[in-house]
């Protein structure tokens, strides 16, 4: 009997709470969702592969770098670098601690790496003019492994092949998609990372799948893997009303924030990184 008397106030309190909740629901009041934020639509538009390209005939350097990456994958270095940038490990490098044993003598050298200076989080210049990114750290790890001096050289992405053929750089390493052209005209590594192409939208757009972009406005960076997969996913491409091919990813993200486009087609790693860091130096740049 005593327990029942003590439980009455609690029962009364619970009844009041439930009644207030019901009244709030009837009034139509909803919690404030806050300002809209960028989000990734679950479905992927397509998938490409990242690799490293070299001059035709320079198979020695290609084999040295690929062997070192396999050793660094085996000892956990690759995974650690990946998680520091992406929060997970999307790399596809086979783990082989003995891969470099099959190489002939590897001599000290300076390797000039051509990178995209506006491709965060793969490679970019920070506000201090220092190269940063997953590919930058990965290339430096290979340099440290062999005792090489690594120099990063910013290249105009549309001129990357010319820079390589002219000998200004030793390799292209920075978010490079292994297109048919590269496979046919250059030496290249195997794929070291799967490059899923996803749709970035704002949370208040009401777009939860690719069908939600039907009749919408899409932005994509020129020369990117996004352009490549658009040519392969014709159903998605043809469902979009307007496609803007922009010079920089920062332009596309600016257009998304201003409501000038409904979605941006981009690398999943870059999209997730952008969600984490926001409009910081990694995605800064002159706006159109």
Q: Which neighbouring-strand residues pair with 199?
A: 265
CB 197 within 8 A of CB 266: yes
Residue pointed to by tokens 């002159």? 286
Structure pTM?
Answer: 0.82
How many domains does the chain fold into? Answer: 2
Is the same domain home to 99 and 181? yes
Q: Is residue 9 in some structural domain?
A: no
Q: Are residues 157 and 229 in the same domain?
A: no
Residue 32 inside a domain? The answer is: no
Closest CA to 78 of 96, 105, 101: 96
Instruction: Give the integer Cα–Cα distance in Å for 89 and 193.
Output: 9
Number of Cβ within a 10 Å radius of residue 167? 9
In terms of domains, do 59 and 178 share one?
A: yes
Give the domain range for residue 251.
38-46+196-283
Tens-level pLDDT at each residue, the chain (288 residues): 444 443 444 344 334 434 444 444 444 555 555 788 999 998 899 998 999 999 999 999 999 999 999 999 999 999 999 999 998 899 999 999 999 999 999 999 999 999 998 888 999 998 889 999 999 999 999 999 999 999 999 998 889 999 999 999 999 998 899 999 999 999 999 999 988 999 999 999 999 999 999 999 999 998 889 999 998 999 999 999 999 999 888 899 999 999 999 999 999 989 999 998 876 666 765 444
**Same domain (yes/no): 77, 185:** yes
| Residue that is last in its domain, among 162, 191, 220 | 191
On whether residue 288 sits in a domain, the answer given is no
239 shares its domain with 185: no
Q: Which among 200, 195, 177 has a CA at the least distance from the CA of 249?
A: 200
- The reply to whether 210 and 170 lie within a common domain is no
Note whether residue 13 is domain-resident.
no
């Amino acid at each position: 009997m005593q327990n029942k008397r003590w439980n009455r106030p609690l029962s009364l309190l619970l009844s009041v709470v439930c009644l207030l909740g019901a009244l709030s629901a009837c009034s139509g009041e909803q919690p404030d969702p806050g300002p809209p934020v960028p989000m990734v639509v679950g479905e992927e538009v397509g998938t490409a592969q990242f690799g490293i390209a070299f001059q035709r005939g320079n198979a020695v350097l290609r084999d040295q770098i690929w062997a070192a990456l396999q050793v660094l994958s085996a000892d956990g270095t690759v995974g650690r670098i990946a998680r520091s940038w992406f929060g997970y490990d999307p790399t596809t490098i086979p783990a082989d601690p003995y891969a470099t044993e099959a190489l002939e003598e590897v001599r000290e050298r300076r390797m000039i790496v051509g990178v995209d200076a506006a491709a965060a989080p793969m490679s970019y210049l920070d506000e201090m003019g220092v190269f940063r990114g997953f590919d930058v750290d990965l290339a430096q790890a290979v340099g440290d492994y062999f005792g090489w001096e690594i120099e990063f050289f910013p290249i105009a992405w549309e001129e990357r092949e010319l820079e390589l053929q002219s000998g200004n750089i030793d390799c292209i390493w920075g978010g490079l998609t292994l297109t048919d052209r590269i496979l046919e005209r250059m030496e290249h590594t195997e794929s070291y990372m799967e490059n899923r192409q996803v749709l970035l939208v704002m949370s208040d757009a009401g777009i939860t799948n690719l069908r939600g972009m039907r009749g919408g406005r899409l932005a994509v960076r020129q020369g990117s893997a996004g352009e490549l997969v658009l040519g392969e996913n014709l159903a998605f491409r043809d469902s979009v009303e307007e496609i803007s091919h922009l010079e920089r990813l920062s332009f596309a993200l600016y257009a998304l924030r201003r409501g000038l486009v409904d979605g941006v087609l981009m690398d999943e790693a870059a999209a997730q990184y952008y969600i984490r860091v926001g409009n910081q130096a990694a995605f800064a740049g002159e706006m159109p």
